[in-house]
Amino acid sequence: MANPQSLRDAAASVADNLRLKIRHRSHPHYPWLFLPRDKEEINTILNLWLQEGSLDAVTQKTGKSFKENPRENISDAYPILWADRPLATGVLQTPFPGKTLVIIALEDLDDQNGLPTNITKISCGSFAVHSGDEDLKFKKQGGGLAFFVLLD
């Protein structure tokens, strides 16, 4: 990707790329997680997210402090396509125990295209924070594209 000017620009570009690559489920427990063969897109988004001072917002919301190298706090990151889920509606109980979940929108998202019901909307390139110890509640709709970033 050629030097994106902002996280929003990079997110939109990555969303287009990932839609071409996502063809089937690839996670044994969460069928709406898609494990990429190439993590370049994820690293591009994570680097921009970290550069924009996003961890300050996470700290304000959660009280969580981060290591000098904040990448060491990232335990994993996955692209998410909010579609074709067996739990199209319902609750995913304690999905990531002990972790903080950051959802980075790769396109404009709301609870009508896949977000958990407690998060009303996220604009492309923006993010929301959710405790991995708290249940995720979903409506029936899907189709949006995002990254899940898990922080220790």
Domain that holds residue 109: 7-151
| 53 backbone dihedrals φ, ψ, rounded to 5° | 75, 25
Tell whether 1 is covered by a domain: no
Tell whether 2 is covered by a domain: no
The pLDDT-based confidence of 4 (bands split at 50, 70, 90) is: very low
What pLDDT, in 10s, does the model give residues 41-97?
788 888 889 887 788 889 899 988 888 888 899 998 887 776 545 444 577 888 889
User: Parallel, antiparallel, or unpaired for β 109-110 and 136-138?
Assistant: unpaired
pTM: 0.81
Count: domains in the chain: 1
What pLDDT, in 10s, does the model give residues 100-144?
999 999 889 887 777 888 888 999 999 999 999 999 887 766 677
How many distinct helices (H) and strands (E) make up the chain?
3, 8
Residue 100 confidence (pLDDT): 94
Tell whether 147 is covered by a domain: yes
